[in-house]
Structure 1
Amino acid sequence: MKKDDCVFCQKTDLIMENDLAKAFYDHAPMAKGHVLIVPKDHYVTFFDVPKAEQQAMIELMDEVKPFLDDKFHPRAYQIFSHIGAPAG
């Protein structure tokens, strides 16, 4: 469900997407190729995302990786989710 006040819903410059998730560059990247992969619906944390949508996010990550490999040739990857204020 699209929300007018959601910055992720407003993203139109997608790298890739599937039925349940989408990937786009972070507006304040920590490194070249910093990509966010988010569900298309709204949830408080990754642990609140239904399993089917979590799976869609992981599948999309698997599709984005070769794209980033070809474009940026990264030496490493970080995959994480900040959950809770102390986590950032």
Structure 2
Amino acid sequence: MNCVFCDLPAGRILGQNEYAVWVRDGFPVSRGHSLVIPRRHLASFFETSGDERTALMTLLDTARAAAIAEFQPAGFNIGVNDGVAAGQTVTHLHIHLIPRYAGDVPDPRGGVRWVLPEYADYWTRS
């Protein structure tokens, strides 16, 4: 099996624990965009064990603290594309931590809701 997340070069790993690793995204959408990835090859967040989920969240906290220290973002989007219909292109679970910056888009309201643009803007609908 060829999986980019199962075969990560050691030099890309910024943090790790027994069940997960943290890396910067290879195709970042913002400064500090990180991925938290389970060591075990699985496609869905819903396949993780309790221990894996705890480890993933611990590294997510670590990645957030590092982004704050290095880049001083004003906020974060956290996301998982779980399944092809949800946009998953690498079938190894990974959690995106996307730092957000004041003014990075004209109107950030709705955040992750914009994955379905026609339903995102609920605040101006009648």
Task: Indicate whether the TM-score tops 0.5.
Answer: yes
Amino acid corresponding to residue 17 of structure 1 in structure 2: Q
Q: In angstroms, what is the RMSD of aligned CA positions?
A: 1.2
Amino acid corresponding to residue 78 of structure 2 in structure 1: I
Percent pairwise identity: 29
Q: How many angstroms does 1:86 deviate by?
A: 2.2
Q: How many angstroms does 1:9 deviate by?
A: 2.1
The answer to whether the 8 A contact 2:37-2:56 is kept is yes
User: Which residues of 2 match residues 1-88 of structure 1 at below 5 A?
Assistant: 5-11=2-8, 12=10, 13-88=12-87
Provide, for residues 21-47 of structure 1, a one-character-per-residue CA deviation record: whole Å limited to 9, x for no partner. 000011111111110001000112011
3-state SS, counterpart of residue 52 of structure 2: helix
How many aligned positions are there? 85
Amino acid corresponding to residue 8 of structure 1 in structure 2: F
Amino acid corresponding to residue 56 of structure 2 in structure 1: M
Q: 5+ unaligned residues in a row in structure 1: which ranges?
A: none
Q: 5+ unaligned residues in a row in structure 2: which ranges?
A: 88-126
Relative to its length, the structure with more strand (as a share) is: 2
- Which stretch shifts more, 10-19 or 34-43? 10-19
Amino acid corresponding to residue 76 of structure 1 in structure 2: G
4+ residue runs over 3 A deviation: none
